[in-house]
Amino acid sequence: MAKNGTVLTAKTMSGSCNDPTARYTVCPNGGGDTMPLGPAMRSSPAAALAKACDANKACVGFLAYKGGGGVLLQPGYAGNSYTGYTTYTRIPPGQQEQQQEQREPH
């Protein structure tokens, strides 16, 4: 997430009191918190969602639905960041290992 031209770096945190194996992406100023940006785009493929997000300066990502379609995302509540707050987004078990395997040459 960039704020006023400054890049805010996400970090990964391991463990919690309730689940020592849990992993989280930690973002400053609510960088990991999103909400829909406009109505859902029914039956649009992920590539079309990515193109629409790239063309919209308010878009920080998109959610692709399992059966097609999706919605563009904006930061925070009503497009505002949460200055001074930190968001923790749980990384599903196994996802980080899969991403690492994809990056390593076979």
| Predicted TM-score (pTM) of this structure | 0.55
Residue 36's Cβ-side half-sphere holds a number of Cα atoms within 13 Å equal to 7
pLDDT tens, per residue, the chain with 106 residues:
455 556 667 888 898 888 888 898 888 776 677 888 989 999 889 999 999 999 999 888 888 988 889 999 887 766 566 677 777 888 888 765 554 554 455 5
The three-class DSSP label of residue 52 is helix
pLDDT given at position 7: 64
Q: How far apart, in whole angstroms, are the C-alpha atoms of residue 69 and residue 73?
A: 13
- Please give the pLDDT value at position 103: 47
Q: What are the residue ranges spanned by the domains of the chain?
A: 1-33+77-106, 34-75
pLDDT at 1: 44
CA triple 62-65-71, angle to 5 deg? 35
